[in-house]
């Protein structure tokens, strides 16, 4: 049950912003989201990437500004609908979406899936829905991107059993009750941020989402400082999460990050024209 990852958009950012000692040159970061087929749960998405709900149509002024600052270039054939079509599926076939955290680049496509069950941190969502737009904005969250009935479709990650992950990664939440996909808390980037460990692959994979933005930045001494530390929810916890992810890789695991500009073996191959 190997996951594959599509790229919804590119965001140009100076390398130095996400890699200590990096160049000033702007590098196209990817905005990945994942897909896998679970034997009983069926088609599952991991987040949804960036989509048109961020870049066009009626939006709040703050979301317009956010879009202007980050300037994502959407990848048309990397959006969920064409990607699912390539995989022989329709949006209605996606029964479950795992939401690793509620930043715009992870939830912008949730409105495409009005029927899907959402696996996420219920407590974090409750907090988002009750606090002011301003407070959410300070945490990079736009509640206008969240479907109105989201809370009623959420299944709490923290409500399922705990199981030991491989290679000393620690204990995670066994999302499907079969040990195949474990939700691993990786605090620091955003409130409740977690990654996913695909524990039964020949080489276990940790999708570490936004624990850093590129693989080299996991290394001690390459983690970015200011101003990246400003964006972090908790810089100390972020550094500790990066250490855990790195230790997993050093123990023989594979690691994938959402925004890493490098191609990975888990990426859906570009469509041949």
Residues that bind Zn ion (CB under 5 A): 103, 210
Cis peptide before 118 (omega within 30 of 0): no
CB 63 within 8 A of CB 50: no
DSSP letter at 79 equals S
For residues 209 and 100, is the Cβ–Cβ distance under 8 A?
Answer: yes
Contact by Cβ (8 Å): 103, 194 = no
Indicate the length of the chain as a whole number: 273
Q: How far is the CB of 252 from Zn ion (least distance, A)?
A: 27
Q: How far is the CB of 34 from Zn ion (least distance, A)?
A: 14
d(CA 71, CA 79): 17
Shortest distance (Å) from residue 66 CB to Zn ion:
13
Residues 6+ apart with CB under 8 A from 72: 9, 10, 11, 31, 50, 54, 55, 105
C-beta of 103 vs 244, nearer to Zn ion: 103
Looking at beta carbons only, is 204 or 224 nearer to Zn ion?
224
In the chain, helix, strand, coil percent, each to 5? 30, 25, 40
CB 157 within 8 A of CB 100: no
**What tokens were used for 124?**
């974090």
Minimal distance, residue 108 CB to Zn ion, in Å: 12
- Closest distance to Zn ion from the beta carbon of 209 (Å): 7
CB of 101 to Zn ion, least distance (A): 6
Looking at beta carbons, which residue is closest to Zn ion?
103
Residue nearer to Zn ion on the CB measure, 43 or 110: 110
Q: Name the minimum Å distance from CB 189 to Zn ion.
A: 6
- Looking at the Cβ atoms of 191 and 210, the one nearer to Zn ion is 210
CB-wise, 53 or 180, nearer to Zn ion? 53
The Cα–Cα gap between 147 and 133 comes to 15
Residue placing its CB nearer to Zn ion in the complex, 41 or 157: 157
> Which of 32, 173 has the CB closer to Zn ion?
32
């Amino acid at each position: 049950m190997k996951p594959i990852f599509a790229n919804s958009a590119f965001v140009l950012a100076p390398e130095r912003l996400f890699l200590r000692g990096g160049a000033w040159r702007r590098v196209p970061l990817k905005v990945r989201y994942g897909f896998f087929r679970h034997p009983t749960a069926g088609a599952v998405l991991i987040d949804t990437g960036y989509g048109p709900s961020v870049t066009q149509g009626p939006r709040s002024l703050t979301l317009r500004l956010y879009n202007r600052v980050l300037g994502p270039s959407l990848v048309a054939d990397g959006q969920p609908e064409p990607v699912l079509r390539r995989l022989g599926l329709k949006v209605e076939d996606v029964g479950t979406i795992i939401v690793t955290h509620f930043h715009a680049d992870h939830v912008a496509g949730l409105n495409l899936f009005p029927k899907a069950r959402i696996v996420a941190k219920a407590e974090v969502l409750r907090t988002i829905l009750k606090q002011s737009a301003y407070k959410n904005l300070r945490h990079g969250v736009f509640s206008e991107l969240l479907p109105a009935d989201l809370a009623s479709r959420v299944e709490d990650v923290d409500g399922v059993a705990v199981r030991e992950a491989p290679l000393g990664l620690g204990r995670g939440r066994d999302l499907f009750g079969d040990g195949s996909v474990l939700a691993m808390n990786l605090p620091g980037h955003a409130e409740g941020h977690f990654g996913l460990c695909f524990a039964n692959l020949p080489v276990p994979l940790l999708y570490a989402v936004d624990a850093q933005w590129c693989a080299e930045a996991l290394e001690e001494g390459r983690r970015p400082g200011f101003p990246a530390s400003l964006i972090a929810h908790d810089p100390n916890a972020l550094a500790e999460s990066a250490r855990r992810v790195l230790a997993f890789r050093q123990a023989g695991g594979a690691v994938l990050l959402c925004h890493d500009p490098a191609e990975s073996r888990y990426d859906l191959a570009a469509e041949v024209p």
